[in-house]
């Protein structure tokens, strides 16, 4: 760890998931009070039992009003939120042969609206204090189109653009914005994804990379390095070549 963490209170959504849970546990172990949000009350209660620094604030991120209430509750019960990590997310394949509009809309609702709702709930408190950090959970898969990722990948491309825009708007107001772009992490989210998962990582390792990266204070935390370089460089190739590489690299086994 490069420097001592100076966050006191972190609000994380998707806190019962593979990545969110490990981030919550890691931050709590290091003395940060963690407000944990997800829908499952039982799983949140189980998480809170692991460390007394973790408190459960159940909510559905698609419910903007409920999230506003949660942010108020956290400020009242724990104190000022100085780090918010909107990490709740879902993956559903965009299968062009059998379009499932319901799951596509659900992905947009959780991965896009859910993140915007979370930021909107925490932002007024941060703006009033001219202080805070928003660490948006994107994905390296937001950098290019990928087979059957029309809705998940697009939702993550939104995160990249959103984080860049917010950084421009919020840095002058004293609020830091960070973008977290992991590659494949071994969680329930991609359990049904049946294409190659290059350099897949354990959630514990991903959480360590995330917390260390946020602690360093740069804008983007992207890993593993090889996958990050792949997705960022492939974008600048001629499109026909880019599509050929992506089709080949992500063909089903
Ligand atoms: N796994 C990867 O390979 C990978 C790679 C890059 C980025 N990411 C991103 O990292 C984040 C976490 O992913 P993960 O792999 O840890 O996923 P996960 O294990 O499937 O966990 C998803 C989490 O989101 C919560 N959630 C889902 N819908 C929700 C809703 N409507 N309201 C509130 N919470 C909701 C779930 O809890 P409940 O179901 O109880 O609500 C759970 O805590 C996501 O944004 C994902 O896109 C993942």
> Which CATH number covers residue 70?
3.40.50.720
From 11, 48, 88, the mutation candidate for ligand 1 (largest count of ligand atoms within 8 A of CB) is 88
Over residues 89-103, the pLDDT tens digits come to 999 999 999 999 999
Place of tokens 């407000």: 35
Domain-embedded: residue 81: yes
Q: Do the domain assignments include residue 109?
A: yes
- Within-domain flag for 54: yes
Evaluate whether residue 178 is within a structural domain. Answer: yes
Q: Smallest Cα–Cα separation from 34: which of 77, 89, 65? A: 77
- For the stretch 164-196, pLDDT in tens is 999 999 999 999 999 999 999 999 999 988 899
4 inside domain: no
Closest C-alpha to ligand 1, atom 45 = 89
> How many other CB atoms are found less than 10 A from the CB of residue 216?
12
Q: Residue 208: exposed, middle, or buried by beta-carbon count in 10 A (0-12, 13-18, 19+)?
A: middle
pTM of the predicted structure, to 2 decimals: 0.96
User: Is 198 in the active site?
Assistant: no
Tell me the percentage of the chain whose pLDDT exceeds 90. Answer: 95
Full domain range(s) for residue 224: 9-249
Measured in Å, residue 125 CA sits from the centre of ligand 1 at 25
In a domain, 1, yes or no: no
| Local confidence band at 5 (pLDDT 50, 70, 90 cut-offs) | low
Share of the chain above pLDDT 70, in %: 98
Q: pLDDT, tens digit, for every residue of 14-61?
A: 999 999 999 999 999 999 999 999 999 999 999 999 999 999 999 999
pLDDT(3) > 60: no
Answer yes or no: is pLDDT of 62 > 50: yes
Q: Report how far ligand 1's centroid is from the alpha carbon of 131 (Å).
A: 27
Tally of structural domains, the chain: 1
Assigned domain for 174 exists = yes
Instruction: Give the mean pLDDT of the chain.
Output: 95
**Residue 145 · residue 22 · CB < 8 Å:** no
Q: Which atom of ligand 1 lies at the shortest distance from residue 60's CA?
A: 32
Residue whose CA is at the smallest distance from ligand 1 atom 41: 39
Instruction: Examine residue 2 and state whether it is found in any structural domain, yes or no.
Output: no
196 touches 249 (CB < 8 A): yes
């Amino acid at each position: 760890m490069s420097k001592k963490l100076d966050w006191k209170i972190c609000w994380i959504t998707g806190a019962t998931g593979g990545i969110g849970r490990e981030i919550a546990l890691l931050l709590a172990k290091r003395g940060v009070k963690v407000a944990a949000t997800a829908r499952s009350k039982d799983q949140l209660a189980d998480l809170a039992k692991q460390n007394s620094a973790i408190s459960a604030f159940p909510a559905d991120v698609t419910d903007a009003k409920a999230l506003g209430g949660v942010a108020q509750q956290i400020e009242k019960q724990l104190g000022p939120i100085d780090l918010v990590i909107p990490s709740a997310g879902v993956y559903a394949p965009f299968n062009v042969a059998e379009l499932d509009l319901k799951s596509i809309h659900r992905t947009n609702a959780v991965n896009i609206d859910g993140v915007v709702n979370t930021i909107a709930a925490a932002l007024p408190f941060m703006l009033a204090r001219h202080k805070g950090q928003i660490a948006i959970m994107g994905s390296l898969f937001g950098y290019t189109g990928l087979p059957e990722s029309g809705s998940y990948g697009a939702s993550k491309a939104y995160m990249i653009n959103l984080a860049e825009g917010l950084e421009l708007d919020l840095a002058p107001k004293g609020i830091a914005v960070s973008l977290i772009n992991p590659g494949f992490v071994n969680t329930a989210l991609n359990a049904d994804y049946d294409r190659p998962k290059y350099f897949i990582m354990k959630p514990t390792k991903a959480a360590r990379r995330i917390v260390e990266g946020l602690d360093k204070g740069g804008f983007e935390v992207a890993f593993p390095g090889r996958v990050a370089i792949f997705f960022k460089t492939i974008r600048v190739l001629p499109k026909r070549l880019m599509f050929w590489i992506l089709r080949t690299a992500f063909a089903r086994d």
